[in-house]
Amino acid sequence: MTRSLIIAPQWIGDAVMSEPLCARLAARGERLTVAALPWVAPVYHAMPQVDEVVELPFAHGRLDWSGRRQVAATLRGRFDTAYVLPNSIKSALIPWFAGIPRRVGYQGEGRPVLLNQRFPNPGGRPPMVAFYSGLAGSPPAEAERPKLSFDEARLATVTAAVGLSPRAYFAFAPGAEYGPAKCWPASHYAELARSLHARHGQPVILLGSGKEGALCEEIARAAPGACQVLAGKTRLIDAMALIAAARGVVSNDSGLMHVAAAFGIPQVAAFGSTSPEHTPPLNPRARVLWLKEELQLDCAPCFERTCRFGHTRCLTEMSPQRVEAALEDTLAG
């Protein structure tokens, strides 16, 4: 059996997009260990084909040359192949330091010494599933989509810990790591929460990191009695379980959007500055809303952190009623 090390990407959504690669490698008999940064590692615990997850003790953006040598020393002699998913030089250092014989990845930033099996960098913004899955050495199947799973016991335990029951609440993920140009307005989330609570009599939980706590509190104040703020109060692996057990999810284009898609949850994804042609939720139960064509927005997608024109019409003109109709449609379907 081939023993393989996967160097994971640094963002939650990208980690989710790597699941089809893991599935392909495991299906052909490779035993998988994933090395991941702590805020991404929980994603791989929801992939049954991953045998081991090693958390990397590095801060975001730091080279940490000596630290990578130390980690590599603990991995030396354990692996036949390494797959380096990020394109940076630093991401390829650990397999090289560890002396892993076969080191696979894209050319990236120029890594001829660090990698000995290099694929040409694809042009433009390729679909991320195909980008990662291509490292398996053959074209990915068009039907490939990420799939995550937790057992029902975990879902019951995690929901009970916050006073909820599976399928008896909605989940919103109103933040986005990349910036406000990806975020549907807080006032719109609040109006949607009030309407869903009135219609279904079920609570709405607000998920995200600690940095999104203030945003979620703002939404909850504007929707009194409808929301439970859990942003910054749950570990990522528990937030993932809460998404997996939700009746439906509404989010921006974010890592948690991809988590919901990989669990196959009914969801609505609001796109603004980014493009669903590049990073769509790969979920037959997803409804994607993007106003580029409808509003004839030549500026979209801009991929900017903030709107250069200051209006963010691509998101502010997406009404709560429209999002609710899309959510009801996927719930009914």
Count the neighbouring beta carbons within 10 Å of the beta carbon of residue 272: 29
The model's pLDDT over 246-271, given as tens digits with 9 standing for 90+, comes to 999 999 999 999 999 999 999 999 99
**Residue 201: CATH number of its domain:** 3.40.50.2000
The model's pLDDT over 7-56, given as tens digits with 9 standing for 90+, comes to 999 999 999 999 999 999 999 999 999 999 999 999 999 999 999 999 99
Mean pLDDT of the chain: 94
* Domain encompassing residue 121: 3-136
Check whether residue 158 and residue 121 sit in a common domain: no
Q: What is the mean pLDDT of residues 238-249?
A: 98
The model's pLDDT over 123-162, given as tens digits with 9 standing for 90+, comes to 877 889 999 999 998 776 667 899 999 999 999 999 999 9
Check whether residue 63 and residue 177 sit in a common domain: no
Ordered alpha helix ranges (H), the chain: 12-17, 19-27, 41-45, 65-75, 93-97, 128-133, 152-161, 186-200, 213-222, 236-244, 255-262, 313-316, 320-332
Check whether residue 10 and residue 124 sit in a common domain: yes
pTM, two decimals, is: 0.94
Q: Phi/psi at 83 (nearest 5 deg)?
A: -110, 120
What are the beta bridge partners of residue 33?
5, 52
pLDDT of res. 140: 67
One DSSP character per residue, 70-101 reads HHHHHHTTS-SEEEE-S-STGGGHHHHHTT-S
Check whether residue 128 and residue 269 sit in a common domain: no
In a domain, 143, yes or no: no
b/e map 234-264, b = 16+ CB within 10 Å? bebebbbbbbbbbbbbbbbbbbbbbbbbbbb
Report residue 61's pLDDT band, with 50, 70 and 90 as the boundaries. low
In a domain, 147, yes or no: no
Check whether residue 214 and residue 114 sit in a common domain: no
In a domain, 145, yes or no: no
Distance of CA 29 to the CA centre of its chain: 26
Check whether residue 107 and residue 51 sit in a common domain: yes
> For the chain, what percent of residues have pLDDT higher than 70?
98
Where is average pLDDT lowest: 49-53, 62-66, 163-167?
62-66
In a domain, 120, yes or no: yes
Query: In the chain, how many domains are there?
Result: 2
Instruction: Give the strand order in the sheet containing 267-270.
Output: 227-229, 204-206, 170-173, 248-252, 267-270, 286-289
Tell me how far apart the alpha carbons of residues 77 and 70 are, in angstroms, rounded to a whole number. 14
